[in-house]
Chain A
Amino acid sequence: MSTETPDDEPLYANRSDWKDIEPLEQYEDINPLAPIFYTEEYKDATSYFRAIVKSGEKSPRVLDLTESIIRQNPAHYSAWQYRYETLLALLPSTDVASSPILEAEVRLMDELAVLFLKTYQVWHHRRLLVSLTRQPKRELDFIKKGLEADAKNYHTWSYRQWLLGSFAGRGASVTDGVEDVDEDLWIGELDFVDSMLAQDVRNNSAWHHRFFVVWGCGVRDGDEDRERVLKRELIYAKQNISLAPSNPSAWNYIRGILSQTHTPFSVVADFALPYAHSRGAYHTKEIVDLENPPPTETAQLPCVQAMEFMADVWENEGGEEKTEQAVKMWTSLANEHDTIRKKYWEHRIRVAHLALRGQKKVA
């Protein structure tokens, strides 16, 4: 955490251009809870900030003051709030988006976002700014760079989803009564997901983003034929699984799109089955089936997620024989392949047996 200011920066108390302000020190009781032993620089800047807020001044020097506080404490939400209001007061009434003040602010935020990647306020301020600049495309490029530093950062991904949802989603921002939807923003998204997954096929944030783009926020141009899209997405996930079978993100993606489209899990059974058994226990077809890529020679089998998937398929089919197949799978997961979830697999066995008894009674 950066709490220092550069040594050559004098305190506000010693600056002639701040002489007209009488600083207001923070009030603390004699016995405060968890007091912070502030640095002189922080005490100095926040004392001047309290005075500025009281006077209501909104001038360029306030931007300097709030920047100093934010650099020392990026979670100081009052400093952010006042900074934003000061910015609004300083912006011209026309051509806001091309104002030099706003451009400088965006550049500063590019720097601070990298410094304080995990601070909520940095991202909220950014959302306010892009609502003024109305340049979401630039932001998508910025995020791409940001994710190079931290490929799973939650704030960064959330910001990307917010941008697309706000500028290019259903019910996107309305300007002068006209819905202002920028469908072009979506164009690069699937390639972007591809590039993220190429770096790390287990990046769940990227898989989530793919679901959001394809299924979660309207229908993309060219994607109107949903059956074709489902087929495309299943092949995409299967191919990725064939490269790295024990990847819960990819399996969750398959489960997610099957549920979303009300498609029974059994349509993926032919693919999943060879992954659910030890090598040699199951003979894969000789003919290369592009829709159902088999495990590679080096794949670690059986794959826990495939075992779970097949058990779900069999449980859904019902009947004594299928249920027992599922139970066998769960037993193997509980006792050998996924022991941390032993209690869960035993729970699944109990539920399936109860359901089977119910089926028998009805029959």
Chain B
Amino acid sequence: MTDISSQLPRLSRAAHAAHCKRCLSGLPASQTDVDASRLALGFYCIGSLDLLGLLESQVPSGEREDWRAWLWKQQARGKYGSGFRPSPLMTAQRLSHEESMEYTDYDTPHIIMTYTALLSLGILRDDFSKLDRPGLLKFLRSCQRADGSFSTVPGSNESDLRTLYCAFAISNMLNDWSGVDIPSAISFVATCRTHEGGYGQSTHCEAQGGTTYIAVASLSLASTWTGQAEYLTNTERDTTIRWLVQNHDKSGGFCGRTGKNADACYCFWCGAALKILGAGDLVDADALASFLARCQFKYGGIAKAPGESSDPYHTYLSLAALSMYPPRPEVAGAQAPSWRFEPLDPLLNAREDTALWVRIHVPEKAV
């Protein structure tokens, strides 16, 4: 389609898998700021291995077993309901044997971590027999605020569209929406819409690719439950598509806001939003692959932009973007096999077979 994509190099799948495995085995002290979101980082790593199709061949089953066990250890019960913590950063050694002990106000589950934990466990093909479903519904209720938005942890003032998406995605996985007030949440989403056609992170904020995905995916997830076909008017839909497409940068990547530089993660956020809106055919997949090819870091993993260093977040989202928008085989030439992916479910942000597993095993089983 464009000259820049005429010769694709190889996608270094093994090196990207190695990057994620390294992170799973340990992080240097310079990444101490991940302490309060370790579970999310774990999801990006495990998710990357899943998208690459290398999880089972590269990770011994015993190790996967350990990961599952660790993930379940982060499920915590208490007065606000049940969910997952980011890590044991607030869990003390001497209390560890008291498994049944309830969490304190400073060690509660976190809604974003809960979403990533459920996906990670789905990737690891857990049967979810340990999931406290009534507790999880209670936790969602504890997080929803008067304005319809959701807080990261119960009672916090930290709330934005990200957490709302997590609440909707969890409800979709549970196939039970009794934990959320849908109409008030949808009104909150509407207050985040901007004059450009994208959505900001919160009311009055500038349109941004990540939160536009969040908004579009949330509305679509709600539709699957309420049966209401469309929460957007045709004009609103067209304006959002136009804005998303406008972020398709000459470099082949997507930028997150009008006039900013392309960043690998927005290939997923904007690309997935377009897919959900039924406009995936407007993306120049060859150019996208050529941009992501240049974001590959020489020591493995994918970076936000060419010349930067890689991290699991950009690696996962780049691979997820490629799962939706693989380059045409004739463009990849001899390297075509390295660019092949299984299809992705853009609503839950997981491989289709993983999303299917989650939707079968997370809901309450009929007795």
Contact = CB atoms under 8 A, between A and B. Distances in A.
Given A38-B29, A208-B194, A256-B196, A340 B284 contact: yes
B26 interface: yes
Nearest to B152: A77
Nearest to B3: A339
A204 B195 CA distance: 12
Contacts of B205: 154, 157-158, 161
A29 B70 contact: yes
Interface string A231-271: 00000000000000001110011011101100000000000
Q: Is the interface of A mostly helix, strand, loop or mixed?
A: helix
B259 A248 contact: yes
B91 A152 contact: no
A290 interface: no
B71 interface: yes
Contact of B41 (A1, A28, A34): A34
B287 A165 contact: no
Given A31-B66, A256-B196, A38 B71 contact: no
A282 interface: no
Contact of B36 (A37, A39, A73): A73
Contacts of B42: 33-34
Nearest to B41: A34
B206 A27 contact: no
Interface string A21-42: 0001111110111111111001
A96 interface: no
A53 interface: yes
A204 B257 contact: yes
Contacts of B153: 77
Interface residues of B, number: 79
A164 to B, nearest CB: 8
A38 B32 contact: yes
Contact of A120 (B91, B107, B158, B258): B158
Interface residues of A, number: 74
A287 B338 CA distance: 61
B308 interface: no
Given A36-B35, A81-B156, A161-B205, A341 B259 contact: no
Contacts of B39: 33
Contact of B203 (A51, A77, A165, A203): A165
B31 A1 contact: yes
B277 to A, nearest CB: 12
B37 interface: yes
A157 B36 contact: no
Contacts of B2: 339-340
Nearest to B95: A27
B54 interface: no
Given A37-B27, A340-B252, A347-B281, 8 more contacts: A26-B91, A33-B24, A33-B42, A78-B107, A215-B195, A248-B246, A248-B259, A347-B279
* Closest A-B pairs by Cβ, 3 of them: A256-B195, A24-B92, A31-B66
11 contacts: A29-B69, A31-B66, A34-B41, A38-B29, A76-B89, A154-B206, A154-B257, A205-B206, A211-B194, A249-B258, A340-B252
